[in-house]
Structure 1
């Protein structure tokens, strides 16, 4: 029996793409900061001159899937991270955006066999979003960690 698990040790060779929604950037910038901190502390060069990390900004969460798809199809990345924040309002717009973003991101991963970490917060209030982006804990860190684990796992599966 073979058991496969992702590791967090030698991550420095991973090439990671991050797609970030500009809408609710008070929240998404904090998620990105936490994510980059995690990646940096695990050996990924996050400097502007990095050959191992690219960040693409999109207008909103609805646009995350198409840019993630373009990045995945380039075959430059072993893993992608999609970051966004959708905060419930008084209209059904929240439901449409969340549904399409999540289906689109999942579709990219399935169609390209490149993991796409779903880092889109879906909250009822701005306060809840801010708590998840750094006031209490920064889920951006978790999304970075998930990317490292999935990148490592997919690499070990392709070598077996």
Structure 2
């Protein structure tokens, strides 16, 4: 079942994250695809809600055409930002295009994160149907908020990395 086991972040933890993020002066970029506007609006909204809740409301939003373009723009963003949140959605169709785009986005973002040492929140929905995407988009009635959880994952990773650098 999707969403099972998603970590819940309480208000006390959000305050601790906000305090640490402020101390580190984290610069955040959200790189978001444009395909499937309703879903993408939900994902970006979820990232925005989370980043605002931890005091990182001065982030930069970069828009790309689709999920395939996320890695290249994220690569350029790693030069000026500490944390990247990558958001997109790929819905399976009748051709293998789905497989190629999902693999390119996933592999590209993973390699980029490892090679730069910068945390990248992976918020790319790879689903069979639009209904599945809407259920994860953080919209009213959605079961999940992948935009928010991806932003949390990236910020939390940045905080853990900062501990290792001491």
Q: TM-score, normalised by structure 2?
A: 0.83
Gaps of at least 5 residues in structure 1 are 1-6
User: Residue in 2 aligned with 1:38?
Assistant: 50
User: Residue in 1 aligned with 2:109?
Assistant: 105
Alignment check: 8 A CA contact 2:33 2:66 kept: yes
Q: TM-score, normalised by structure 1?
A: 0.86
Gaps of at least 5 residues in structure 2 are 1-15
CA distance in 2, matches of 1:146, 1:133: 16
User: Residue in 1 aligned with 2:5?
Assistant: none
Q: CA deviation at 1:19?
A: 0.5
Higher mean displacement: 25-34 or 8-17: 8-17
Q: CA deviation at 1:9?
A: 4.0
User: Residue in 2 aligned with 1:8?
Assistant: 17
Q: CA deviation at 1:142?
A: 0.7
CA distance in 1, matches of 2:150, 2:104: 20
Q: CA deviation at 1:136?
A: 2.2
Aligned Cα root-mean-square deviation (Å): 1.2
Runs of 4+ in structure 1 deviating by more than 6 angstroms, as ranges, are: none
**How many aligned positions are there?**
145
User: Residue in 2 aligned with 1:26?
Assistant: 38
More helix as a share of residues: 2
Q: CA deviation at 1:64?
A: 0.3
Q: Higher relative contact order by CA 8 Å / sep ≥ 6: 1 or 2?
A: 1
Q: CA deviation at 1:113?
A: 1.0
